[in-house]
Amino acid sequence: DFFDSGHTNNWAVLVDTSRFWFNYRHVANVLSMYRSVKRLGIPDSHIIMMLADDMACNPRNPRPASVYNNANQQINVYGDDVEVDYRGYEVTVENFIRVMTGRLPESTPRSKRLLSDDRSNILVYMTGHGGDGFLKFQDAEEISNVEMGDAFEQMWQKRRYHEVLYIIDTCQAESMFQTFYSPNIIGIASSKVGEDSLSHHVDPAIGVYIIDRYTYFALEFLESVTPDSKKTLGQFLRVCPKYQCRSTVAVRTDLFQRDPEKVLLTDFFGSVRNVEITMETLSLGNETTNPQMSNQVCRSVNMSDCF
């Protein structure tokens, strides 16, 4: 029962599908989530971030090179160490599906690939403008819930994930995971079908809404989580009740094999490595009996005191 979660590595795919200044909050949503997963241990090499617009460099930004998610401007979520993998017009439906399914051109660098396997737990977070059964990408195209469901099925068939936590913060967000049919996926939506997902507050200095309600309260919960925290996914599912969100948070758990109340939140938001200590001596095998060969090996790793 030591490795009861069944996964050995964690990935995060964070996607903002909106551009233009008045959608500042969607960029802040993704950057805030990025900050949280990095703080809990997922490295940049295991994070794919897509930002459809660069608010930090927008000429309307009164504080260049900064993006804030609260009116007090206490935390610059853009920071100095943000690695954006797909930005601007690279954020398309085609690129998103190619990243998820691994169907990228051979020239694509490793930093822009989702190199997950059948022991990977993947957090997928998406935010933008949507409707009943679709999510818009940059007001130019849209991805349907059927396409999204088929992408996850391709991933399952290709053994690209162990478990997936899918979070979407958009209007009528529940519709995006209603067509999922692949196993080991749990979905959280900021609004039910027929409901709008609302913003939280305006920063007068910036002049636009700077974060959405569900993401704001989800991040407030995540701030209390540490890498060794025992808080569960079940607790996270109850974040942002209707009196806070003004919309009804929808959850889908029928495809998920484990009880969310017994799943650590860090199974998706963190990257804690389980270590098992053994007192037994392990033989590595293929040991050489040639002293000259052994000396060559020692010199190759700068170990002058081998013998």
Q: Which member of 7, 26, 162, 171 is catalytic?
A: 171
User: In whole angstroms, how far apart are CA 8 and each of 11, 117, 120, 268?
Assistant: 11, 9, 6, 11
Token representation of residue 145: 């819930």
Residue 7 annotated as catalytic: no
Q: Classify each residue of 288-300 as buried b or exposed e, where b means 16 or more C-beta atoms within 10 Å of its C-beta.
A: eeeeeeeeeeeee
Q: Which member of 7, 26, 46, 129 is catalytic?
A: 129
Bridge partner list, 168: 126, 189
Residue in the block written with tokens 């919309």: 247
Residue 73: count of CB within 10 angstroms of its CB: 14
Q: List Cβ neighbours of 116 (8 Å cut-off, separation of 6 or more).
A: 9, 11, 122, 160, 161
Integer-rounded Cα Rg, in Å, for the chain is 22
Amino acid identity for residue 236 in this structure: F
Residue 129 annotated as catalytic: yes
Using H for helix, E for strand and C for coil, what is the string for 216-230?
HHHHHHHCCCCCCCC
Give catalytic residues, as residue numbers: 129, 171
